[in-house]
Amino acid sequence: MKYTVEEFAREIRKLYPGDYNDLSDGTLIELWLKKYPQDEEKLIHGSPYKSDEERTPILPKARTQVYRSSEERAPMKVKKGNSILLILFFIVLASVGGYFLIINNSSREYLASDRISQTPTKTSIPNAVKVIHILPLGAVHTEYIEEITSAIKKFYGYDCIVLPPAKPTQDIMAASNMRYEANKVLKKYNSNDYLLILTEEDIAYPNEKRKEKEWGVFGLGNMPGTTCVVSTFRLRRTNGNLVPHELFMERLDKIVLHEIGHNLGLNHCTNDPVCMMCNTYGTIEEVDQERVWFCDRCKKQLH
């Protein structure tokens, strides 16, 4: 017997009543076919995706740097005529201390200090943590790891240490056995060091308020604590359609920085809808509305 996507999704929901109310039909089928690829032949039109390439974002070409000789690796030499101007330039900068620079990078705004101060000002991000460990859970694109490492450094000023990937095990699976349970992931990998766990698989947790056994989430973090988990699974699409790669990466940055905020003791923000700690509705549209920025109230809570 052949099914449409809607019919097949309905049959799955009959097997697991109440478990997949957070998923669209297409996303549910994607999860199911990852675990049972042989069932693709049961669909009238095959997989709900036109090709395997549509299951992951289109990646830009690898950013590689090629050196022809060892000389090219050395810093660029400054002509004598320009050296005096550079010295004067840095003297002027040194005389204007404590200013903050907004760096705009591909429509993403980062608040960063131009110098390191042991006594943070009211608008700076505290640097007491200093190091975030990143643990890939299963196969994770290297580009995603490089992206969040850069975002953490730019926003919080923290260095990152990337750990060897952890192999997913049965003990972190949700009841449906089709995605990870975020609470189990946090419990298994709880660390004395600050640890961010990154996975490309879907994650969920029991949501008592919604009376759902499995409620899919972008990420989950202990508050306060040292461990959080983030999934890229729900960030790649809006209403079932792939989003541009830059938007996907921006979403990933925001969720990562949001969950680290929980680890640092920040609750969800009700002060400003564009604050990165805002989570009034928990939708991807809300994430897109937010800036990579903390409102004054959230920044004050960090001190």
- What pLDDT does residue 99 have? 28
> How many CB atoms within 10 Å of residue 176?
18
- Reduced 3-state DSSP string for 94-145: HHCCCCEEEEEECCEEEEEECCCCCCCCCCCCCCCCCEEEEEEECCCCHHHH
Sheet of 203-207: strands edge to edge? 180-181, 203-207, 212-217
Question: pTM for this one?
Answer: 0.67
Distance (Å, whole) CA 79 – CA 161: 37
Active-site residue, selected from the candidate residues 259, 285, 286, 290: 259
Note the residue count of the chain: 303
Beta-carbon contacts of 265 under 8 Å, excluding residues fewer than 6 positions away, are 223, 224, 301, 302
259 is catalytic: yes
Is the model more confident about 210 or about 151?
Answer: 151
pLDDT tens digits, 99-137: 222 222 222 222 222 222 223 333 345 556 689 999 999
Q: Identify the burial level of 244 via C-beta atoms within 10 angstroms of its C-beta, where 0-12 means exposed, 13-18 middle and 19 or more buried.
A: exposed
**Confidence category of residue 292, pLDDT binned at 50, 70, 90:** very high
- What pLDDT does residue 61 have? 34
The CA-CA-CA angle for residues 162, 163, 169, to 5°, reads: 135
- pLDDT at position 40 over 50: yes
Distance (Å, whole) CA 181 – CA 187: 10
- pLDDT at position 67 over 70: no
Is the model more confident about 90 or about 100?
Answer: 90
Distance (Å, whole) CA 109 – CA 293: 7
